Protein backbone atom coordinates (compact mmCIF):
# COMPACT_ATOMS: atom_id res chain seq x y z
CA UNK A 1 0.00 0.00 0.00
CA UNK A 2 1.35 3.41 -1.00
CA UNK A 3 2.20 5.91 1.73
CA UNK A 4 0.45 9.29 1.55
CA UNK A 5 1.56 12.46 3.34
CA UNK A 6 -0.90 15.36 3.65
CA UNK A 7 -0.08 19.07 3.84
CA UNK A 8 -2.93 21.16 5.26
CA UNK A 9 -2.75 24.68 6.71
CA UNK A 10 -6.01 24.60 8.66
CA UNK A 11 -5.60 28.23 9.68
CA UNK A 12 -9.05 28.37 11.26
CA UNK A 13 -10.17 26.58 14.41
CA UNK A 14 -12.49 24.43 12.31
CA UNK A 15 -9.96 23.96 9.52
CA UNK A 16 -8.68 20.63 8.26
CA UNK A 17 -11.98 19.07 7.22
CA UNK A 18 -10.48 17.88 3.94
CA UNK A 19 -7.66 16.15 5.82
CA UNK A 20 -10.19 14.47 8.10
CA UNK A 21 -12.24 13.27 5.13
CA UNK A 22 -9.14 11.67 3.58
CA UNK A 23 -8.43 9.80 6.83
CA UNK A 24 -12.03 8.64 7.12
CA UNK A 25 -11.93 7.46 3.50
CA UNK A 26 -8.88 5.30 4.20
CA UNK A 27 -10.71 3.76 7.14
CA UNK A 28 -13.87 3.03 5.18
CA UNK A 29 -11.89 1.57 2.28
CA UNK A 30 -12.67 4.20 -0.37
CA UNK A 31 -9.09 5.53 -0.40
CA UNK A 32 -6.53 2.78 -0.87
CA UNK A 33 -3.49 4.34 0.83
CA UNK A 34 -1.66 4.55 4.15
CA UNK A 35 -1.73 8.08 5.56
CA UNK A 36 1.63 8.46 7.30
CA UNK A 37 1.15 11.96 8.66
CA UNK A 38 -0.16 15.48 8.23
CA UNK A 39 1.98 18.63 8.02
CA UNK A 40 0.68 22.08 8.98
CA UNK A 41 2.19 25.52 9.29
CA UNK A 42 -0.14 26.16 12.26
CA UNK A 43 1.06 24.54 15.46
CA UNK A 44 -2.30 24.26 17.22
CA UNK A 45 -4.95 24.97 14.59
CA UNK A 46 -7.77 22.83 13.29
CA UNK A 47 -5.44 20.34 11.60
CA UNK A 48 -3.53 19.71 14.82
CA UNK A 49 -6.78 19.17 16.73
CA UNK A 50 -8.15 16.74 14.15
CA UNK A 51 -4.84 14.87 13.98
CA UNK A 52 -4.95 14.29 17.74
CA UNK A 53 -8.51 13.02 17.55
CA UNK A 54 -7.80 10.77 14.56
CA UNK A 55 -4.49 9.41 15.82
CA UNK A 56 -2.49 10.65 12.81
CA UNK A 57 1.14 11.82 13.27
CA UNK A 58 1.28 15.61 13.19
CA UNK A 59 4.26 17.67 12.02
CA UNK A 60 4.52 21.42 12.53
CA UNK A 61 6.20 23.16 9.58
CA UNK A 62 6.85 26.80 10.57
CA UNK A 63 9.09 27.53 7.58
CA UNK A 64 11.19 28.58 5.86
CA UNK A 65 9.42 26.92 2.94
CA UNK A 66 12.49 25.73 1.09
CA UNK A 67 12.86 22.64 -1.07
CA UNK A 68 15.12 21.06 1.54
CA UNK A 69 12.56 21.53 4.31
CA UNK A 70 9.70 20.15 2.23
CA UNK A 71 11.82 17.17 1.30
CA UNK A 72 12.69 16.51 4.94
CA UNK A 73 9.05 15.76 5.82
CA UNK A 74 8.70 13.40 2.89
CA UNK A 75 11.95 11.67 3.85
CA UNK A 76 11.08 11.22 7.53
CA UNK A 77 7.67 9.71 6.70
CA UNK A 78 8.92 7.78 3.65
CA UNK A 79 5.89 9.02 1.75
CA UNK A 80 5.31 7.86 -1.82
CA UNK A 81 2.72 10.55 -2.64
CA UNK A 82 1.84 13.97 -1.27
CA UNK A 83 -1.65 15.51 -1.11
CA UNK A 84 -2.19 19.23 -0.54
CA UNK A 85 -5.55 19.81 1.09
CA UNK A 86 -5.93 23.47 1.98
CA UNK A 87 -2.16 24.05 2.01
CA UNK A 88 -1.56 27.76 1.39
CA UNK A 89 2.22 27.90 0.89
CA UNK A 90 4.13 27.63 -2.38
CA UNK A 91 5.58 24.14 -2.75
CA UNK A 92 9.11 23.62 -4.00
CA UNK A 93 11.31 20.57 -4.23
CA UNK A 94 8.63 17.89 -4.24
CA UNK A 95 8.16 15.51 -7.19
CA UNK A 96 5.40 17.08 -9.34
CA UNK A 97 4.23 13.70 -10.65
CA UNK A 98 3.59 12.51 -7.08
CA UNK A 99 2.19 15.71 -5.56
CA UNK A 100 -1.46 16.71 -6.03
CA UNK A 101 -3.64 19.61 -4.94
CA UNK A 102 -7.35 20.36 -4.73
CA UNK A 103 -8.52 23.86 -5.70
CA UNK A 104 -11.95 25.44 -4.95
CA UNK A 105 -12.50 27.22 -8.24
CA UNK A 106 -12.11 27.04 -12.03
CA UNK A 107 -8.51 26.75 -13.23
CA UNK A 108 -6.55 28.42 -14.65
CA UNK A 109 -8.62 31.62 -14.45
CA UNK A 110 -9.26 31.58 -10.69
CA UNK A 111 -5.88 30.29 -9.56
CA UNK A 112 -2.49 31.70 -8.73
CA UNK A 113 -0.90 33.48 -5.79
CA UNK A 114 -3.44 34.72 -3.26
CA UNK A 115 -6.30 32.78 -4.84
CA UNK A 116 -7.47 30.49 -2.08
CA UNK A 117 -10.56 30.02 0.06
CA UNK A 118 -12.90 33.01 0.21
CA UNK A 119 -10.74 34.96 -2.26
CA UNK A 120 -11.63 32.42 -4.96
CA UNK A 121 -15.35 32.37 -4.16
CA UNK A 122 -15.57 36.16 -4.10
CA UNK A 123 -13.78 36.43 -7.46
CA UNK A 124 -16.03 33.78 -9.01
CA UNK A 125 -19.15 35.56 -7.76
CA UNK A 126 -17.95 38.90 -9.13
CA UNK A 127 -17.39 37.27 -12.54
CA UNK A 128 -20.83 35.61 -12.31
CA UNK A 129 -22.54 38.95 -11.66
CA UNK A 130 -20.78 40.38 -14.72
CA UNK A 131 -22.13 37.49 -16.80
CA UNK A 132 -18.66 36.09 -17.46
CA UNK A 133 -19.10 32.68 -15.78
CA UNK A 134 -22.11 30.52 -14.96
CA UNK A 135 -20.61 27.97 -12.58
CA UNK A 136 -17.71 27.35 -10.26
CA UNK A 137 -15.57 24.22 -10.15
CA UNK A 138 -13.62 21.90 -7.92
CA UNK A 139 -10.32 21.06 -9.63
CA UNK A 140 -7.58 18.60 -8.79
CA UNK A 141 -4.18 18.99 -10.40
CA UNK A 142 -0.58 17.94 -10.12
CA UNK A 143 1.69 20.46 -8.39
CA UNK A 144 4.47 22.38 -10.11
CA UNK A 145 6.71 25.24 -8.95
CA UNK A 146 3.99 27.82 -9.73
CA UNK A 147 0.68 28.15 -7.88
CA UNK A 148 -2.10 26.15 -9.59
CA UNK A 149 -0.24 25.69 -12.91
CA UNK A 150 0.10 21.89 -12.99
CA UNK A 151 -2.08 19.78 -15.29
CA UNK A 152 -5.67 19.35 -14.12
CA UNK A 153 -6.92 15.76 -13.95
CA UNK A 154 -10.36 16.35 -12.44
CA UNK A 155 -13.05 18.99 -12.69
CA UNK A 156 -16.49 19.06 -11.12
CA UNK A 157 -18.86 21.85 -12.05
CA UNK A 158 -20.77 23.58 -9.26
CA UNK A 159 -23.77 25.58 -10.44
CA UNK A 160 -24.30 29.13 -9.21
CA UNK A 161 -27.84 30.29 -8.43
CA UNK A 162 -29.16 33.82 -8.85
CA UNK A 163 -29.30 34.38 -5.09
CA UNK A 164 -25.85 32.86 -4.40
CA UNK A 165 -23.36 34.48 -2.05
CA UNK A 166 -19.64 33.73 -1.65
CA UNK A 167 -20.51 32.02 1.63
CA UNK A 168 -23.19 29.71 0.23
CA UNK A 169 -21.01 28.92 -2.78
CA UNK A 170 -18.10 28.08 -0.48
CA UNK A 171 -20.28 25.60 1.41
CA UNK A 172 -21.37 23.75 -1.73
CA UNK A 173 -17.87 23.74 -3.22
CA UNK A 174 -16.58 22.27 0.02
CA UNK A 175 -19.22 19.55 -0.15
CA UNK A 176 -18.04 18.69 -3.67
CA UNK A 177 -14.43 18.59 -2.50
CA UNK A 178 -15.32 16.13 0.23
CA UNK A 179 -17.35 14.02 -2.20
CA UNK A 180 -14.62 13.55 -4.81
CA UNK A 181 -11.16 14.23 -3.32
CA UNK A 182 -10.63 10.80 -1.78
CA UNK A 183 -11.69 8.90 -4.89
CA UNK A 184 -9.41 10.77 -7.26
CA UNK A 185 -6.56 10.79 -4.76
CA UNK A 186 -6.86 7.01 -4.71
CA UNK A 187 -6.72 6.88 -8.51
CA UNK A 188 -3.46 8.85 -8.52
CA UNK A 189 -1.89 6.93 -5.64
CA UNK A 190 -2.71 3.63 -7.31
CA UNK A 191 -1.49 4.56 -10.79
CA UNK A 192 -4.83 4.95 -12.56
CA UNK A 193 -4.08 8.61 -13.26
CA UNK A 194 -0.47 9.61 -13.81
CA UNK A 195 1.86 12.15 -15.38
CA UNK A 196 5.57 12.29 -16.22
CA UNK A 197 6.02 15.52 -14.25
CA UNK A 198 7.27 17.46 -17.27
CA UNK A 199 4.97 17.57 -20.30
CA UNK A 200 1.26 18.30 -19.61
CA UNK A 201 0.45 16.26 -22.70
CA UNK A 202 1.61 13.08 -20.97
CA UNK A 203 -1.22 13.15 -18.41
CA UNK A 204 -2.83 9.70 -18.53
CA UNK A 205 -6.12 8.31 -17.24
CA UNK A 206 -9.08 6.40 -18.62
CA UNK A 207 -10.28 9.85 -19.71
CA UNK A 208 -9.69 13.47 -18.74
CA UNK A 209 -11.65 13.10 -15.52
CA UNK A 210 -13.98 16.00 -16.26
CA UNK A 211 -17.17 15.44 -14.30
CA UNK A 212 -20.04 17.56 -15.54
CA UNK A 213 -21.96 16.80 -12.39
CA UNK A 214 -24.15 19.49 -10.93
CA UNK A 215 -23.85 20.30 -7.25
Q: Which of 103, 121, 141, 178 is catalytic?
A: 103
Phi–psi pair at 139, nearest 5 degrees: -120, 145
- H, E, C per residue of 136-156: EEEEEEECCCCCCCCCEEEEE
- The pLDDT of residue 12 is 65
Q: How confident is the model at residue 10 (pLDDT cuts 50, 70, 90)?
A: confident
Q: What is the pTM of this model?
A: 0.94
Q: Are 96 and 141 in contact (CB under 8 A)?
A: no
Q: Does 76 have pLDDT greater than 80? A: yes
Q: Are 111 and 143 in contact (CB under 8 A)?
A: no
Tens digit of each residue's pLDDT (9 = 90 or more) over 94-113:
999 999 999 999 999 999 99
Residue 34 pairs in a beta bridge with 3
178 is catalytic: no
Phi–psi pair at 175, nearest 5 degrees: -65, -40
Tens digit of each residue's pLDDT (9 = 90 or more) over 172-206:
999 999 999 999 999 999 999 999 999 989 999 74
Measured CA to CA, the distance from residue 135 to residue 47 in angstroms comes to 30
Q: How confident is the model at residue 214 (pLDDT cuts 50, 70, 90)?
A: very low
Domains and CATH numbers, the chain: 3-211 (3.40.50.170)
Q: How confident is the model at residue 215 (pLDDT cuts 50, 70, 90)?
A: very low
Q: Does 29 have pLDDT greater than 90? A: yes
Q: Are 61 and 77 in contact (CB under 8 A)?
A: no
Amino acid sequence: MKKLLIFASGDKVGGGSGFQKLVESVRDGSLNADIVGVVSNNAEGGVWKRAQELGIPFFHFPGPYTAENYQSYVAKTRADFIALSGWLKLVTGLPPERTMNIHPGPLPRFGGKGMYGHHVHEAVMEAFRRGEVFYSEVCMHFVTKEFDKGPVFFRCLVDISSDETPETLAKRVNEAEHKYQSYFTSLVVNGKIYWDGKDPGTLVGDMEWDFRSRL
